[in-house]
Chain A
């Protein structure tokens, strides 16, 4: 019952956030369209590269399209539906969590779902276009959908964990931005081009391997054990994000800055 009510509030929150973003119709639509174009331009670079070489780290052109689509999809899911996870540091440092703390709902869920970023919808649309270019197949579509959600949740959890360090460090937004940007940056390169220590880092400190590379491999090879691994990793990341956030919350100092919920 509590979970049902929490989902109801989250859905209402999305509805009202969409209403807010749609107040400026031009900005809303152009944000979505330009993000799709931006992604398409980046893929254009790979088209040029593939005229020079047929294979990059074991990825052909179709696989690269899938990789790009997957990277856009995870980014899109994380930023469209959990946008505030990426701004948690500001909310913590400037004492903007008060309104959520006095409500009988899960604080972390309520906070991170309280805003959307419209252009992230452009990423999701682009992701599906890329998925269909890779393979117009229902199984691929379902796997892709499942895994961009788990990937998006891993990215969101990483953002929440790093931003929650602000409870201890006072301002961890630079750490969080760097960590999240690193995942987004490496997500668009095939993992086969990385070796040794770099590859180890990409599967541990910068968990792009878990959020992106493994899921893409599992779609290409239809490997269910990797999918299961990915789901378990996602659950662990979420659990860790909740533990860090709630541990830190005991150190929350609030604040007296004037603020409004916009």
Chain B
């Protein structure tokens, strides 16, 4: 049975319009104009227990609005959300015990307190017995390697350490579902990898269902088995990562370094992406032509070096965004 059910969810915001300059500001006071922005339009999906789902889309696609409706922050205009049998608009407190949230751009920790004090405070918020909180903190301290900075005020921590503490704080009450809104934003590659390991561990050790938004394709590729793509407030793709790659990775890139210049033109299934004389880049549509055809076209005797690769997932996702606009 699905742990999350979202049905025909919609949310519209009223945005004030203002013309440029001082006159525009005066007009906006005398006769304000508004426009309706449909942030989320009639979206539906279901998520099973223990799934790690990427909920992705370009900026302004409606990701954060959807997450905020699912976590009781915003009221939907239409549609329904059912999370573990609870309605976020009516059962906010009950739901809060079942979910954890991390918003990469909004800190929930008190910056002047140490992570330890913060965890104790969060424990109290979720009505956890102090002795149980101590045990939990000890468990997390070991599991998520917090020893080095658990007694340092949050304001003195690096961004990576802070995000790690944000995630741990959101886990203190052992939520069944964790909503992560761009948890790796602004982090360096090493710290990103640490955070990903932590998320994987949470899913494995505690069977936590994870609902993740991120602009970082590596987050999605390394963590998620299912992808929901949203654009202009609508779900444009809801598929497994495997299927996404299978259906959309039907193109190969061939990079070749040549001994001598050759002249090539586009053929059916083979597109010349780059031709710099000795360096060529071809795109092969493997539903129409084979990679071997492309190599034959280049003349194998004249090739010094060759590299055959998949189209990056980032490009695939960008194309999905563009095609569905």
Contact = CB atoms under 8 A, between A and B. Distances in A.
Contacts, number: 81
Contacts of A37: none
Question: Max chain A CB contacts within 10 Å: which of B108, B113, B125?
Answer: B125
B92 interface: yes
A34 interface: no
Contacts of B113: 16, 19-20
B108 A99 contact: yes
A16 B117 contact: yes
B121 A98 contact: no
A8 interface: yes
Interface in B97-120: 97, 99, 101, 103, 105-113, 117, 120
A132 B110 CA distance: 38
What's the dominant secondary structure at chain B's contact region?
mixed
B111 A261 contact: yes
A13 B164 CA distance: 23
Contacts of B93: 104-105
B209 to A, nearest CB: 16
Given A8-B124, A9-B124, A104-B93, A254 B110 contact: no
Given A19-B113, A101-B72, A104-B97, A259 B107 contact: yes
A130 B127 CA distance: 41
A262 B109 CA distance: 8
Contact of B111 (A13, A103, A104, A262): A262
B94 A104 contact: yes
Contact of B112 (A12, A20, A99, A256): A20
B13 interface: yes
A253 B106 CA distance: 15
Interface string A246-260: 000011111011111
Interface in A201-222: none
Question: Max chain B CB contacts within 10 Å: which of A9, A104, A256?
Answer: A104
B17 interface: no
Contact of A12 (B106, B124, B155): B124
B71 interface: yes
Contacts of B127: 5, 104
Interface in A2-57: 5, 8-9, 12-13, 16, 19-20, 23
A197 interface: no
18 contacts: A16-B110, A16-B113, A20-B110, A98-B68, A98-B73, A102-B101, A104-B92, A104-B93, A105-B93, A250-B75, A252-B73, A254-B68, A257-B105, A259-B106, A260-B107, A260-B111, A261-B108, A262-B111
Interface of A: 5, 8-9, 12-13, 16, 19-20, 23, 97-99, 101-105, 250-254, 256-262
